[in-house]
């Protein structure tokens, strides 16, 4: 299997926000190809430099839309936003937030797998299968203490 395209956390958040706003992958690919963010103007977010930034930094947004992506680095705040736009999850409602960690995300197997592939290497993804539901804990690598 080939490696997923790597994109910035900001590009990933903007991509998932556009999806949550209702744009289909086909519409997103059209926005990217034409560098025309008109369909995103009502989203409440400034997308004016999204495509040009990605191009300047060799981010393959087309591939990210089609096959998925891995973020290059994740911050706590950025990851919270990404979880909100990608999965509709909010801190203290859908998971608990601690210092450098998010615990108790309840996801299906497909979404748990997506998180494992999408997060940057500065986070550790711990998944516990409980039947159809996967309980996912995300821990910033600097805070991760493997059990002995």
Q: Which residue has the higher pLDDT, 64 or 148?
A: 64
> Against a cut of 0.85, is the pTM above it?
yes
Tell me the pLDDT band of 2, cut-offs 50, 70 and 90: low
Residue listed under structure tokens 């990210």? 64
**Dihedral angle computed from the Cα positions of residues 26, 29, 35 and 41, in that order, rounded to the nearest 10 degrees:** 50
Q: Which two tokens stand for residue 116?
A: 């494992």
Cα distances (angstroms) measured from residue 56 to each of 6, 41, 63, 108, 118: 14, 22, 16, 35, 21
Tell me the pLDDT band of 130, cut-offs 50, 70 and 90: confident
Task: State the helix-helix crossing angle for 9-20 and 76-87, rounded to 10 degrees.
Answer: 30
pLDDT in tens, 83-102: 999 999 999 999 999 999 99
3-class DSSP string for 46-92? CCCCHHHHHHHCCCCHHHHHHHCCEECCCCHHHHHHHHHHHHCCCEC
- How far apart are the C-alpha atoms of 85 and 42, rounded to whole Å? 16
pLDDT in tens, 30-82: 999 999 999 999 999 999 999 999 999 999 999 999 999 999 999 999 999 99
Helix or strand (DSSP H, E) at 23: none
């Amino acid at each position: 299997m080939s490696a997923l395209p790597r994109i910035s956390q900001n590009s990933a958040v903007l991509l998932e926000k556009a999806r949550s706003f209702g744009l289909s992958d086909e519409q997103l690919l059209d926005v990217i190809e034409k560098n025309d963010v008109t369909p995103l103007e009502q989203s409440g977010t400034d997308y004016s430099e999204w495509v040009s930034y990605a191009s300047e930094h060799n981010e393959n947004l087309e591939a990210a839309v089609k096959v998925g992506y891995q973020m290059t680095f994740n911050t706590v705040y950025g990851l919270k936003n990404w979880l909100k736009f990608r999965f509709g999850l909010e801190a203290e409602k859908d998971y608990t937030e601690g210092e450098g960690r998010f615990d108790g995300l309840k996801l299906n197997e497909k979404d748990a797998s997506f998180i494992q592939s999408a997060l940057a290497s500065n986070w550790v993804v711990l998944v516990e299968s409980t039947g159809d539901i996967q309980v996912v804990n995300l821990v910033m690598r600097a805070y991760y203490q493997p059990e002995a």
